[in-house]
Amino acid sequence: MKPPPIALITGAAGGIGETLVHTFGAKGYRVWALDCVAQPDHLVCDRYWQVDLDWFVQDEDYRSRQLADLAQAAGTQGLDALINNAAVQVMGGVDTLTTADWHLTLNVNLLAPFLLTQGLLAPLAATGGCVVNISSIHARLTKPNFVAYATSKAALSGMTRAMAVDLGDRVRVNAIEPAAISTPMLKAGFESHPEQYAALARCHPQGRMGTPTEVAALALSLVSGELRFMHGACVGLDGGISARLHDPS
């Protein structure tokens, strides 16, 4: 009997991450979760790794140990999906961003997805697996004080396309570029300004924000065997906001 497929999800303790874990688990995947914090009591998964992705990029010995543990767990079965969801959002503009801000942002948002894919390439290729990078609408459209974050996501989307060309038919690589997603963290940021939260929702032509469930459903469809010709795609999930022109009228 064929064992259940395995999906590794980073940033698993966040709002979108938790929903990814639940969605893939409900579809019969063995879910491996990874985050920089200890496993939350309510997060149900098959395996959990507490990994600091910033340090994972900086320290070769630490990275090698973590990758060896993941590869050993995959064993001869291989890995069916890697969902690079973990990210940091350091706010700041040209006048204020520091070198440390840039290193943290690029390490977690760009280099960690690359190094995880590279380090787990053998188990991914063994299953003809799929990598899904959770990018952002900021890869294409941004606003003030998102300089580092937007740059990292633009690079992540570009890397998605480049890796698809480079890997050919060995491993599929795609990205999702969401606009505003209604997570607990986003809601908490607007707790004192509910009118601003409502205004942000209205900016989207659908008059609402996206949900973590919608992100997870799209990720699941990209991983499933039904869309195997989708490779190197950066799929917008933005409620139409990327088509909207804002002007004074």
Gap between the Cα atoms of 133 and 85, Å rounded: 6
Beta bridge partners, 131, equal 82, 173
Give the Å distances, CA to CA, from 113 to 13, 36, 82, 86, 247.
Answer: 17, 14, 9, 9, 37
Give me the half-sphere count of Cα atoms (radius 13 Å) on the Cβ side of residue 32. 20
User: Would you call 120 exposed, middle or buried from its count of C-beta atoms within 10 A (0-12, 13-18, 19+)?
Assistant: buried
29 is catalytic: no
What ranges make up the beta strands (E) of the chain?
6-10, 30-35, 47-50, 81-84, 130-134, 172-178, 234-237
Q: Which of 29, 48, 62, 149 is catalytic?
A: 149
The DSSP H or E segment spanning 76 is none
Euclidean distance between CA atoms 9 and 100, whole angstroms: 26
What single-letter amino acid sits at 166?
Answer: D
**Do 140 and 183 meet the contact criterion of CB atoms below 8 Å apart?**
no
- Per-residue CA distances from 183 to 70, 142, 158, 189, 249 (Å): 28, 19, 26, 10, 31
Task: Give me the sign of the Cα torsion angle 145, 185, 198, 19.
Answer: positive
What is the set of active-site residues?
149
